[in-house]
Chains A and B, each alone.
Chain A
Amino acid sequence: MPHSYLKHAVLPLLVVLATLGIALWLPDSAEHPAAQHPYFVFTALGVLAAMLAFSIAGMSFPPLGEAFARKAPFYAGVLSLFCLYNILTAKTALLPVLYFPSPDNIFGVFFEDMPFLLKCLAYSLRLLVLGWIGGIIAGFLTGVAVGFNRHVRYWVLPWVRILGPIPATAWIPIVLVCFPSVVSASAFLIGLAVWFPTTVLTASGIANIEKAYFEAAATLGASKSYTIRKVGIPAAMPHMFLGLFNGTCASFLTLVTAEMLGAKYGIGWYINWQKEMMAYPNVYAGLMVMSLSCFALLTLLFRVRNKVLVWQKGVIQW
């Protein structure tokens, strides 16, 4: 069957059309402040256009069509949730109006405030990447040193155990005094949050390597440093990625808190600031940007991992 995936596209299409119909023809409740334009309708139309484009592109490029067919039911589900939310807020005002703004107002933020949101995102990413990279490099080095060197293990591991579990944000009072700028202080906190799980899981990954691998390397004439590079570190990679994953999640958490330290811009800062202004549509828009960005970063991390760990059978899927 050439275009059998098309039948999977029918359900999402119907859901989009129903969403559009309800948004356009059901009268709005008067309690919600009117948006400048029907932004939710714009968004739904955009989704409709994207779906049609994918369906048509899928006809001449089957892998795309199949990928779309696999994901289409899920997107239909997401869309019907938005439709339901639209009914509960804009149409009937069943939810408290102040805290649950209409989708028109939420999506309006993207149309009207996009440059500013992007600026905030860029600031957050800068902070995150600075801290994250510092944290994984430090974590990797500490973990490898603890894992392979008896003396480092003796002198350093207890400190890792005692200081590591403290949530990074608890260091704020000290970090603020010690660092010259808010940016460096925030980046340090994020780095700290990434460092701990990366260190611990790298070290435990190394500790759990089967001894016979090292023996095999020794009987093949490999030096200690060659063995660490080619046997120890690759063998500990699965654990390291687990640490990296935990660390990355911790870094998001720390980012939001760190941005309260007096940052100028940033997505966490934006959400917090808009909350204080009681601008809930902006809060929701900020949350959506944040969740999509975190999702994208984690997906990237898992892509990298799947590339690095092709040799592993049955890797955990993200």
Chain B
Amino acid sequence: MVGGIAISHLGKRFKNPQGEDITALSDISLNIRPGSFVSLIGPSGCGKSTLLRIIAGLEHAEEGEITLDGAPIAGPGCDRGFMFQSHMLFKWMTIYDNVAFGLRARGLYREQAGRVDEMLGIVGLKGFEKHYPHQLSGGMCQRASLARALVGHPKVLLLDEPLGALDAFTRMNIQDEIARIWKEQSMTMVMVTHDVDEAIYMSDSIVVMTPRPGRIKQILDLSDLPRPHARSGDDFLRCRAKVLRILDYGGKIQKPEYAI
């Protein structure tokens, strides 16, 4: 199986508007097994998106090493699909053309045109091929965005809070779809989320991060829980309590900003 990511002693700094260095990530080491589902969770500003973007090749880390199946990651590439928080569909293209974009860009459309219809079917957007993004709901746009990211058979799918802006039911539906796709297409998925329930429901392992500077606080292994995971029940509640305890939200709410 392919899609294994090895990260060792990764560090990333940004300059803030005043020109001072801020450390977004510090000494991140993480091994992501091929075909696993990993969630990155933690309070806002702890560097989850930055880490995901480094895996995607959209940011470059000054320190440490990062490899995909042994080869260093130097820039973005079609072996790693990316799903943005806001769907980022090309609004001047129809849903069909959006999904077909990756194939056309790589000159594979002629051979694999059927793949576009297949993906549209998988995410339940049959019949919306000719629509423009502004004609669809937020959930449908995220589905299209998922199809677009998957059309070229990436080894890894990176998801940056893709469901954060959706209502609870749409969210659960798409979670199920992503889980199904993950199982059927046997690819590695790394998802950023701030939703503990989502992380537990979807993941083999949960990477809990803390801010200032962004570090990994603990990695929770859920791979011995029976699949599919439940959204409730003893195992779920135990995990939930554990994650919240790691994040220091086990007891009373300590930071008002996080009390949504």
Contact = CB atoms under 8 A, between A and B. Distances in A.
Contacts of B104: 230
B82 A221 contact: no
B219 to A, nearest CB: 26
Interface string B95-112: 000000110111000000
Given A216-B82, A221-B105, A311-B134, A231 B152 contact: no
A141 interface: no
Contact of B76 (A219, A231, A235): A219
A234 B90 contact: yes
Contacts, number: 76
| Overall SS of chain A's interface | helix
Which of B57, B90, B104 has most A Cβ within 10 Å? Answer: B90
B149 interface: yes
B214 interface: no
A149 B101 CA distance: 24
A306 to B, nearest CB: 14
B56 A219 contact: yes
A221 B134 contact: no
A220 B102 contact: yes
B78 A221 contact: yes
Interface string A220-238: 1111001100110011010
A313 interface: yes
A264 to B, nearest CB: 44
Given A237-B92, A311-B92, A219 B58 contact: yes
Contacts of B86: 212
Contact of A216 (B80, B88, B106): B88
Contacts of A222: 101-102, 105-106
Contacts of B106: 221-222
B105 A226 contact: yes
B58 A310 contact: no
Contacts of B81: 219-220
Nearest to B82: A219
Which of A216, A219, A222, A312 has most B Cβ within 10 Å? Answer: A219
Given A215-B58, A215-B82, A311-B134, A220 B92 contact: no
A231 B102 CA distance: 12
Nearest to B101: A220
B237 interface: no
Interface in B33-72: 56-58
Given A216-B84, A311-B132, A221 B90 contact: no
A: contact size bracket: 20 to 34
Contacts of A221: 77-78, 102, 105-106, 152
Contacts of B149: 219-220
A217 B134 contact: no
Contact of A217 (B91, B101, B132): B101
A234 B102 contact: no
A312 B93 CA distance: 10
A99 interface: no
A81 interface: no
Contacts of A309: 92
A241 to B, nearest CB: 13
Which of A210, A218, A231, A310 has most B Cβ within 10 Å? Answer: A218
A111 interface: no
Contacts of A215: 56, 58, 76, 82, 84, 88
A213 interface: yes
B215 interface: no
B88 A223 contact: no
B143 interface: no
Contacts of B76: 215, 218-219
A218 to B, nearest CB: 4
B105 A235 contact: no
Contact of B90 (A213, A218, A226, A310): A213
Contact of A212 (B88, B93, B102, B134): B88
A217 B56 CA distance: 12
A311 B77 contact: no
A221 B76 CA distance: 8
B100 to A, nearest CB: 10
A212 B84 contact: yes
B148 interface: yes
Nearest to A234: B92
Given A215-B82, A231-B90, 17 more contacts: A215-B76, A219-B56, A219-B58, A219-B82, A220-B101, A220-B105, A221-B78, A221-B105, A221-B106, A221-B152, A222-B101, A226-B105, A230-B104, A234-B90, A235-B90, A311-B134, A312-B91
30 contacts: A210-B88, A212-B84, A213-B90, A215-B56, A215-B58, A215-B76, A216-B84, A216-B88, A216-B90, A217-B101, A217-B105, A218-B58, A218-B75, A219-B57, A219-B78, A220-B101, A220-B102, A220-B105, A221-B77, A221-B152, A222-B101, A226-B105, A227-B105, A234-B93, A237-B92, A310-B132, A311-B91, A311-B93, A311-B132, A312-B134
